[in-house]
Amino acid sequence: MKCTKTKRLAYTEETINIVNSLSLEEKISLMGGNVTLQDMLNDLRDSDEQKHYNYYPYPAGGIAEQNIAPMLFCDGPRGVVCGTGHSTCFPVTMLRGATFDARLEEEIGEAIGKEICAYDGNLFAGVCINLPYNPGWGRSQETYGEESFHLGEMGKALVKGVQSENVIACIKHFAFNQMEISRFKVNVECDKRTEREVFLPHFKKCIDAGAASVMSAYNLYKGTYCGHHDYLLNEVLKKEWDFDGFVMSDFVWGVRDTVEAANGGQDMEMCCTRFFGKKLLEAVQKGQVSESKINEAALRIVRTLLAFQKNRLNQYSKDIIGCKDHIQLALKAAREGITLIKNENNVLPLKKTSKRIVVLGKLGDKEVIGDHGSSQVRPAYVTTPLQGIADAVPNADVIYYDGENLQHAKELAKGADAVIFVVGYDYDDEGEYISEDEVDSYTGAVGGDRKTSLGLHEAEIELINTVGPKNANSIVVLIGGNMIMIEEWKESVNAIMMAYYPGMEGGRAIGEILFGDVNPSGKLPFVIPYREEDLPTVNWDTTHQWYDYYHGYAKLDKQGIKPSVPYGFGLSYTKFDFSNARFSSSENSVIAECIVKNIGKRLGDEVVQMYVGFKNSSIDRPIKLLRGFSRVSLNQGESKKIIIECPKEDLCWYNTKTSQMELEHMEYEVYIGNSSNAEELLSGVVEF
């Protein structure tokens, strides 16, 4: 990364000189967006469909006379939101989480960075690393999974990739933002350990990796709006973590009070200036906000923009947007992330010599790329699952029916070599959401949290249960942003594949995996329980929510509840053998290694996972947590030694008495394997 924190800090003196030469008004003008609410609504309501939210980079600040470029905001995370019919639409973040491929995520960051340059933007607000406390969160698709360590590693990779192109990576939403319907009104609370061990570490990791901007969240934390949060923004982010960049608010409703926000550490009101601007000037003049606060904000903004601007030597023409290489990268991600959960009797891969394939389910012929909120990317085309399947088996008759009439669906299934159900969610079922409290919407999305059920729609369950058993080769392809319950129908089909929202070439990847052109290698970045009640309860429509210390796979583990499908699980068309496990520690890290061998019949990738256990702890700690992962590609018969290291820092707990993260000195269990299933992990102990 060229524009590292060190490099940025080198511009401090120059920045101070610039800021000192500005008037108070000018400094304050840097601290707000230049898009009016009306502008945004006009974009949204454009009937031509060429305009939409963020179809061009939204500007903030900037002083032409001083050569200070405005901040030019581009949303994400599945690609660049700007433009219509151009940007590369990558698979959603959750699918990319399922790849457990940090190197690939960095490449995606580089590609996105380049496209942002071509759009003349300078900031990418697409590093969403909010942890889904409950998988029903409507925007789960925008994050990597339920494990903080994994979020940190993947988020870090994206930050590095984006910033390597001298585009500012903005991480969001800081913090405790994992409820959609109530996001403007909910006050989240939790205990200190939960705050420091579960919900903040991945943010710190991204800051340590050099992220230059942070977006504050809409919700309240411990009674204060996150956009005004002195503790989170001033104490934790800027002081403790020594963050050098600038904070921006989430849009329109992220700042609600001029004085509290300014004093609370908010640097930039986005995307319209309503509480800052004139009102902030008045507050300073009245002595409610000190000018030093303004100076600090201006310093952060100018220094960051200056550093990135000066280091941006590359120019990219518009041709790079949606170019073949980037689309190929999107396809690669889809191929690596799609997760095979069940494959009874090896019905998959299906035969290329099949004569008749039937595809059922409303989503089969849809462009399943994700919600229609602020993360909506508009690519030149989308390959639907149906098209991808037809392309994968050109010598077969591929027939699609939406599945409404069960009799007809049954008849079609009986005559087919295989039946593929494409089921799950679309942008009406889950996604970003504007509550009814707010009059004007800037996304026009329906979305929301999955508040009634984490399972499939009733009609789809009935379709699978009625028709699945009628064909010996029945497969369910799941579409959605997070965990989908499978108990009600899993026995009716032979194979189950989770495709998340697989991007513009997702349909192609689905077809390739179904028919064996590609060997699936994704792993679930979340647990699938037997019962929804095994997960923490969340009241989706509320003004107050408590977060427990435990959630997801760690909660099931702690309570001795067996999951239906474990965290980190994913099947392959080949088989891997793990042996020679060795566990040790160095001064700064814990090390796990083993030999992985491909003992199956074809080339395949495996994701080796490392878990660390805390059963000897004298305090309440999880049974085990993911603390490392490494993807490896092996030919048939090939074996490699895999070494995974975890910094001891990542094993700490938060001691409320000393207000420090501390390392326990005891014997730790260390595990290595290809999922969180204890019965199949190789284990050992390490003491320090």
Partner 1 sequence: MSMYLFENVEHEERYKTKIFVTSVEHSSFHWHYDYELILILKGSLQIKVGSRVALLGPRDIILLNSQEAHELQRTEEENLCLFIQINKTMISDLKNDSKLYYFYLDSKDQKHVPKNGYKAYIRMAACIGTESLKKELCNIYRVKSLIYMMIADLFEFTLCDIHQKPKEINGKNSLSLLMYIIDFIRGNFKDNNILENLYKSVGVSEKSVYRILKTNIGLSPKSLVLNNRIENAKYMLKFSDKPIEYITCNSGFCSGSTFYRTFKKMTGVTPAEYRERGGDVSVDSNIKGYLKFDIKEALYLLQNLVDEI
Contact positions vs partner 1 (CB under 8 A)? 355, 359, 365, 386-387, 389-391, 393-401, 405, 407-408, 412
CB of 306 to partner 1, least distance (A): 46
CB of 573 to partner 1, least distance (A): 22
DSSP3 helix / strand / coil % (the chain, rounded to 5): 30, 25, 45
Q: Between residues 294 and 479, which has the closer beta carbon with respect to partner 1?
A: 479
Q: Between residues 257 and 365, which has the closer beta carbon with respect to partner 1?
A: 365
Q: Between residues 56 and 401, which has the closer beta carbon with respect to partner 1?
A: 401
Contacts of 48 (CB under 8 A, 6+ apart): none
Q: Between residues 389 and 478, which has the closer beta carbon with respect to partner 1?
A: 389
ω into 77 cis (within 30 of 0): yes
d(CA 595, CA 344) in angstroms, rounded, equals 27
d(CA 32, CA 297) in angstroms, rounded, equals 11
State the DSSP H helix or E strand holding residue 263, giving kind and residue range, or none if neither.
helix 258-264
State the DSSP H helix or E strand holding residue 75, giving kind and residue range, or none if neither.
strand 71-75
d(CA 605, CA 176) in angstroms, rounded, equals 34
E-state strands within 452-552: 474-479, 495-498, 544-547
CB of 474 to partner 1, least distance (A): 18
Q: Between residues 278 and 470, which has the closer beta carbon with respect to partner 1?
A: 470
Identify the CA nearest to 568 among candidates 458, 678, 456, 404: 678
Q: Between residues 137 and 515, which has the closer beta carbon with respect to partner 1?
A: 515
d(CA 643, CA 333) in angstroms, rounded, equals 24
CB of 366 to partner 1, least distance (A): 12
**Bridge partners (DSSP) listed for residue 249:** 216
Q: Between residues 400 and 583, which has the closer beta carbon with respect to partner 1?
A: 400
Q: Between residues 43 and 426, which has the closer beta carbon with respect to partner 1?
A: 426
CB of 361 to partner 1, least distance (A): 12
Rg, C-alpha atoms of the chain = 25
Q: Between residues 223 and 415, which has the closer beta carbon with respect to partner 1?
A: 415
Buried-exposed string 468-505: b where 16+ CB fall within 10 A, e elsewhere: bebbebbbbbbbbbbbbbbebbbebbbbbbbbbbbbbb
Q: Are strands 495-498 and 474-479 parallel, antiparallel or unpaired?
A: parallel
Buried-exposed string 290-327: b where 16+ CB fall within 10 A, e elsewhere: eeebbbbbbbbbbbbbbbbeebbeeebeeebbbbeebb
ω into 594 cis (within 30 of 0): no
CB of 324 to partner 1, least distance (A): 16
Q: Between residues 29 and 387, which has the closer beta carbon with respect to partner 1?
A: 387
CB of 463 to partner 1, least distance (A): 15
Q: Between residues 19 and 393, which has the closer beta carbon with respect to partner 1?
A: 393
CB of 479 to partner 1, least distance (A): 17
State the DSSP H helix or E strand holding residue 633, giving kind and residue range, or none if neither.
strand 624-634
Phi-psi region of 447 (alpha: psi -120 to 50; beta: other; left: phi over 0): left
CB of 356 to partner 1, least distance (A): 8
CB of 322 to partner 1, least distance (A): 17
CB of 380 to partner 1, least distance (A): 11
What's the half-sphere exposure (Cβ side, CA atoms, 13 Å) at 431? 22
CB of 514 to partner 1, least distance (A): 14
> Six-digit token pair at 79?
């690609």
Identify the CA nearest to 314 among candidates 117, 585, 480, 593: 117
Q: Between residues 403 and 481, which has the closer beta carbon with respect to partner 1?
A: 403
Map 321-363 to HEC letters: CCCHHHHHHHHHHHHHHCEEEEEHHHCCCCCCCCCEEEEECHH
State the DSSP H helix or E strand holding residue 607, giving kind and residue range, or none if neither.
strand 604-613
